[in-house]
Amino acid sequence: MTSARLEPPAYPDVVRTDEDRERFTRLYDDLVRVTGLPPAEALLHAANQFQLGFDVRAPFEKRKRRKKVYGTSGQDIRNPSEDEPKRPPSLDPPGS
């Protein structure tokens, strides 16, 4: 049950493309519905946030996942702390 987004009464000059209009509409809608700002104030805040690069995504909108990065040796180069549990460093000297 999704309701339509609130459309802003106007778009600032920095909003040029359809993609920009979508992003600005998401910001405006979020400020009015979630934070409860009056529409005039939300319009000003949305314009500032738009210029600063903020974006609000729908709660279930799918986001891009990071691709695996492989080095020249073909090994997976990821942050080891993501997959492996932390272990204390070995007290044995190297090569023993």
Helix (H, G, I), strand (E, B) or coil at 66: coil
Rounded to whole angstroms, how far apart are CA atoms 86 and 95? 21
DSSP for 34-57 reads TS---HHHHHHHHHHHHHHT----
Indicate whether 76 belongs to any domain.
no
Tell me which of 7-16, 18-27, 77-86 is least confident.
77-86
pTM, rounded to two decimals: 0.55
Residue 84 pLDDT exceeds 70: no
Number of H helices, E strands in the chain: 3, 0
**23: DSSP letter:** H
| Number of domains composing the chain | 1
Indicate whether 77 belongs to any domain.
no
pLDDT digits (tens, 9 = 90+) for 36-68: 999 999 999 999 988 888 877 655 555 566 666
Indicate whether 70 belongs to any domain.
no
Indicate whether 69 belongs to any domain.
no
Indicate whether 19 belongs to any domain.
yes
Neighbour count for residue 21 (Cβ, 10 Å): 14
Q: Domain containing 52: what range?
A: 1-57
